[in-house]
Amino acid sequence: MHALKSKKRSTEILIFILKIFVALIMFSPIIWIFSGSFKEIMEFTTSPGIIPKNPTLENFSYIFNNSNYFVYVRNTVLLMGLTTLGTLISSSLVAYPLARMDFPGKRIIFAIIVGTMMIPNIALIIPQYIMFGKIGWLDSLLPMIVPAFFAYPYNVFLFRQFFRSIPKELDEAATIDGCNKAGIFFKVLVPISKPVFVTIGMLSCVFWWNELTQPVFYINSDKWRTLTIALMTTFMYTSGNAFVINWPSIMAASTLMIVPPMILYLFGSKFLVEGIKTSGLK
């Protein structure tokens, strides 16, 4: 009996050590980024120690002094805020009848929405690029912001799943009170779905904060660069030489970009984690 217990204990310890090991692996790139952002370029490209030999803040001051850093922040926040606002409004509107009303064509619409969820954006980006070029939207945030106001299938799908979980009796009670269908949405559903809006809003913010692909295609000039684009353009090369990569500057810019999602997780992990679970479960 004793032997069994100690065996169990040692497996527990083993598993705990394994956990620490996995945590080290998962967190290693972030540690590497943090440490790299305090190194001098010479040190970064010659010695791989984790603790910088001559810690310097030069990389951060390089970023703030040699670039329009706050313009990039503004663009990223603008992009994140407006797309999130747009998708919350439009996707919830579209999800409502799909979740809680019966009307002809519902099944077809829903099938199309699920179908379009499967088309990766990258497959359609070339025709969209030409299209947006024709109406003069290239080199602005519009190609990303405007579509958000016309319901992303994925978010419609999420909203629908959430709305379906709300008891139908609420609708009936509201109908008796004299609410019509539109009224039910605004008066009943929206107020009690606040956590859902927060959750999907957070997922959307995380996505757009990190989004690289679409800005790469649509943004040309410096004044509309987002932080992700700035990372691979403005901060990438040492000034004057386009062939020497300024690694520490990239790491410093990355550090600045990594911190906000971390804080979001620390303070909003309840919404974030719940939301992500739901998005993958159904």
Partner 1 sequence: MPSIKLNRKNLKNNLTAYAFCLPWLIGFICFTLFPIAFMFATSLTNRKLNGKSSFVGLSNYSAMFKSENFWNSCKVTIFFTIVMMAVTTVWAVIMAMLLNRKQKFNGIFQFFYFIPSVVPTISLAYAFRTIFGKDAGLLNYIISAFSGKNSSINWMYDPHTVYLVVFFVTLFTYNTGQMMLVFRSSLNDVPRELYEACDMDGAGAFRKFATVTLPMISPIVLFNAVTGCISALNGSFALLYPLTGENGDPNGMTQVLSLLIYKEAFSNMKVGYASALSVVLFFIACLFGIIIFAFSKKTVYYEN
Partner 2 sequence: MKSKKIFALILFTSLTGGMLSGCGKANGEKSNASSGTSQKVTIAVWNEPNSNEELNMYAQCEKKTGIDVEVTVIPESDYSSKLNQMVSTGDDSTDIYVVWENDIANFAHEKGIIALDDYLSKSSIKTNDFIYAVEKLSSGLGGTYGLPWCAATELLYYNQDMFDAAGIEYPDNNWSYSDFKAAAQKLTKKASDGSTEIYGCTLPNTQTWWAGIGGAGDQVYDPSTGKLVIGDGAVSFVSDCLDMVKSGIMPAPSSDTSDLFAAGKAAMSWQGSWNIGTYGSKLPFNWDIASIPTNKIKYNTIHTGFYTINAKSKNKDNAFKVIEYLMSEEGQTINSKASGNPSAIKSIADKGAWKVESATTVENWSAITDSLAAGVFGYTCLPSGVTNNAVSEFNSALLGQKTPQQAVENALNYANETIG
What part of residues 88-107 is at the interface with partner 2 (CB under 8 A)? Answer: 89-90
Neighbouring C-alpha atoms within 13 Å toward the C-beta of 238: 11
**Cβ neighbourhood burial of 97 (10 Å; 0-12, 13-18, 19+):** middle
- Residue 82 interacts with partner 2 (CB under 8 A): yes or no: yes
What is the amino acid identity at position 94?
V
| The two three-digit tokens of residue 213, written as one number | 């692909």
What is the rounded distance in angstroms from the CA atom of residue 73 to the CA atom of residue 78? 8
Per-residue x/- marks for partner 1, 228-257, CB under 8 A? Answer: x--xx--------------x--xx--x--x
Token pair belonging to 85? 């606002």
Whether the CA torsion 97, 98, 99, 101 is positive or negative: it is positive
By the rule CB under 8 A, 149 interacts with partner 2: yes
In the block, tokens 């790491």 appear at 251
Q: How far is the CB of 88 from partner 2 (least distance, A)?
A: 10
Q: Does 245 bind partner 2 (CB under 8 A)?
A: yes
Select the residue interacting with partner 1 from 121, 165, 220, 239 (CB under 8 A): 121
Helix (H) or strand (E) holding 180: none
Of 6-14, 96-104, 118-126, 230-238, the segment contacting partner 2 by CB under 8 A is 230-238
197 binds, options partner 2, partner 1, none, Cβ within 5 to 8 A by partner type = none
Query: Number of helices and strands (H, E) in the chain?
Result: 15, 0
Residue of the chain from 34, 39, 63, 86 that contacts partner 2 (CB under 8 A)? 86
* Helices 69-100 + 153-164 axis angle, to 10: 50
Q: Is the dihedral of CA 223, 41, 212, 30 positive or negative?
A: negative
Q: Using CB distances below 5 to 8 A depending on partner kind, what does residue 85 bind out of partner 1, partner 2, none? A: partner 2
Query: Which residue matches tokens 């509107």?
Result: 93
**What's the maximum distance between 2 C-alpha atoms anywhere in the chain?**
78
Instruction: Indicate which single residue of 49, 120, 127, 240 sits in contact with partner 2 (rule: CB under 8 A).
Output: 240
Residue 258 contacts which entry, partner 1, partner 2, none (Cβ below 5-8 A, type-dependent):
partner 1
Looking at 39-47, 58-66, 67-75, 186-194, which segment touches partner 1 (CB under 8 A)?
39-47
Under rule CB under 8 A, how many of the chain's residues touch partner 1? 98
Q: List contacts with partner 2 (CB under 8 A).
A: 42, 44-46, 66, 78, 82, 85-86, 89-90, 133, 136, 138-142, 145-146, 149, 178-180, 182-183, 186-187, 220-223, 233-234, 236-245, 247
